[in-house]
Structure 1
């Protein structure tokens, strides 16, 4: 059924009508067979109203029954169709894209291919739930048509105008929902004298205090393998709070990606932060880096973009990381940066960063994750649940992350749920 929907349904109204029709037919057939089963008849036997009683020496006469007629299915309506859309969302989250391994499973073999193996004695053995958080932040409104906060629902019917960076944001939120992590979107204010990306350390520092691990991810970067728990990756990369504070991926090997010491930058578009004292020292030094004076007087040159000169990434890579080298882990570019179509040698096996594919290639990657009507279904849910994750920078700084957002609504698990258990 999902294949049919993925290939045929485009508009929201079409989704509603077709989904409702399919479930109406399935429900009707189910009622018929349930009725047959209630008479104890095999599937090939005729219904009871057509049975006959055969008695030797007597004519054959039809039997009669006072059994009540089977209940009729409720009439189709858009309200019942939306009920089934909720069920389809749950099917996607709990079955189609559910976590495929435990945090401490020895091997990850997606679809039986490849073989990534954990080191001995993994630190993370249980799902972290909302003690792990995923952070989006931006000073752009993204409020036009076919954008994440726009007036309408994103749809593949208008694929040409679907906003690439908005798909990246939806990917982050969806990954958090699949694995039960806490998701935040922070609408930040801009600076007068430097690029808004310099807000990363102050925002992450504020949010991390209420969680064990938090990660920031650029809107043009995505979780490539939705089924893979982040806890497993923390074990794979050996990112543990007792020995690590921050982790970032190395950039592709080009001269323009190197600092003044000829060392490749760490890409600040994907940051994993552990809640320990050193992390806050790093964030403080990084935030003050472009200010006049100490701790890094020459860091002011990285306030704004220039050809071959990144901003917050340049300041971090040229100054901050050398002050805290023992606490910062470098992740392989092959695994946590880039994408295959870039031909840069960084394939983004786990985390893809589509630096030059943010308008087109990101649509293909996310489109394969949320095909057909699922884009509309989940974007609509994203907008409905905004008060559980969206906040302004001022509200965050005044209240803290949890107080600034509402508690996530309880999931409608349905019958036969395996909530709290691994598949």
Structure 2
């Protein structure tokens, strides 16, 4: 029996599927620019199973060859441990965790975390995620690149991923829908991370649990958002920088549900007089939270009196991109491309290849079988042509 046959069935499947996924990822990220025609791919949506056939017989065998399984297997070697003492960002800045006794999380949260996308747009045109034809990499729309990066991040770390195709409001800007649906997801998950499509993780190998440890987001924190750049037009009514609702970390609790309910109802002015102006006025739900909700929540709490409940994340770490460094927001840990939305495609390509490249190098140039190092030999004329393979590689004719 061969060594391959001795492997468990799961690993044999992964060995067969690994080359296929690697090639697919290389093609998807634009590294291959050959002249092969692009196939026209049409999605076929299967009909739901017949009701009388549901739950019949034994449960199906778990799909060990699914794409999420393969994504996790591929990224596992580069995923940063939750309790890693330090992490160096892409700009070379070292971030260090608090002492071990102060860490909030030491074990993965898994499916208790929901990575959430909420959008009211159709997203069904060419290059979009809901197009009838699968979008090719070179025609992928910027929103789709952002959404795909969120799905990838969730699969790498085993989180739940949800995309809400939200209805339109009758009386206010569509941006308000993310407040409603973040609250809805908090009824099902312990922690919800809502991202605008142009908010992305520049280092997808870094788990959310590590970020929670780093920012010291303990169970008392209801919601965390990044500050906007300090300056016009980002001042709130107290002349403090607005928070940016394009990246929201929300933790489940009765108080959090109440906070989000009051926030969602802010334009109705049942609690917050003057909030109706933010129905359509920029910055909509973001301005309402910044100028009103965070100064009066629960039973009259304020971020000034109870800062432990609402966490303001540094703009440099959780907002902006390197291209807008003059604002002080470079997105070291979470990037937000409000200044250069088309660059989400570049970021998604980096998300894939930054993790995959070391694995490819390891498989091709560190593992035995692919590279023959002959740098200590001296060629004489046509040595390579005149000698047999056995003679050239220094293997005796009788060896096997």
Tell me the TM-score normalised to structure 2 length.
Answer: 0.68
Cα distance change, pair 111–282 in 1 and its aligned pair in 2 (3 A):
closer
Distance 1:112 1:250 in 2: 20
Number of the residue aligned with 2:87 = 108
Distance 1:268 1:330 in 2: 11
**Paired residue total:** 294
Structure 1 residue 334 corresponds to structure 2 residue 316: yes
Q: What pairs with 1:391-406 in structure 2 (closer than 5 Å)? A: none
Per-residue CA shift, 1:64-107, capped at 9, x if unaligned? xxxxxxxxxxxxxxxxxxxxxx7998665423465522212222
Number of the residue aligned with 2:296 = 323
Cα distance change, pair 93–193 in 1 and its aligned pair in 2 (3 A):
same
- Counterpart of 2:341 (choices 335, 358, 369) is 358
- Counterpart of 2:152 (choices 174, 180, 193) is 174
* TM superposition shift of 1:139: 0.8
1:7 match: secondary structure: coil
* TM superposition shift of 1:177: 0.4
Query: Which gives a bigger RCO, structure 1 or 2 (Cα 8 Å, sep 6+)?
Result: 1
RMSD of aligned residue pairs (Cα, Å): 2.7
* TM superposition shift of 1:371: 5.6
Distance 2:152 2:273 in 1: 41
Cα distance change, pair 256–97 in 1 and its aligned pair in 2 (3 A):
farther
Q: What pairs with 1:20-419 in structure 2 (closer than 5 Å)? A: 92-96=71-75, 100-109=79-88, 114-120=93-99, 121-156=102-137, 159=138, 161-241=139-219, 243-291=220-268, 293-305=269-281, 309-324=282-297, 325=303, 326=306, 327-343=309-325, 344-359=327-342, 361-370=343-352
Per-residue CA shift, 1:263-291, capped at 9, x if unaligned? 11000010001112221121011011001
Unaligned stretches of 5+ residues in structure 1: 16-85, 375-423
**Runs of 4+, deviation exceeding 4 Å:** 1-6, 9-15, 86-92, 96-99, 110-113
Cα distance change, pair 14–288 in 1 and its aligned pair in 2 (3 A):
closer
Tell me the TM-score normalised to structure 1 length.
Answer: 0.64
* TM superposition shift of 1:211: 1.4
Per-residue CA shift, 1:337-395, capped at 9, x if unaligned? 00011232211011110002112x112111222369x9xxxxxxxxxxxxxxxxxxxxx
Is the CA contact 1:99–1:178 (under 8 Å) kept in the aligned structure 2?
no
Distance 1:341 1:362 in 2: 13
Distance 2:111 2:118 in 1: 18
**Larger CA Rg, structure 1 vs 2:** 1
Is the CA contact 1:290–1:300 (under 8 Å) kept in the aligned structure 2?
yes
Number of the residue aligned with 2:12 = none
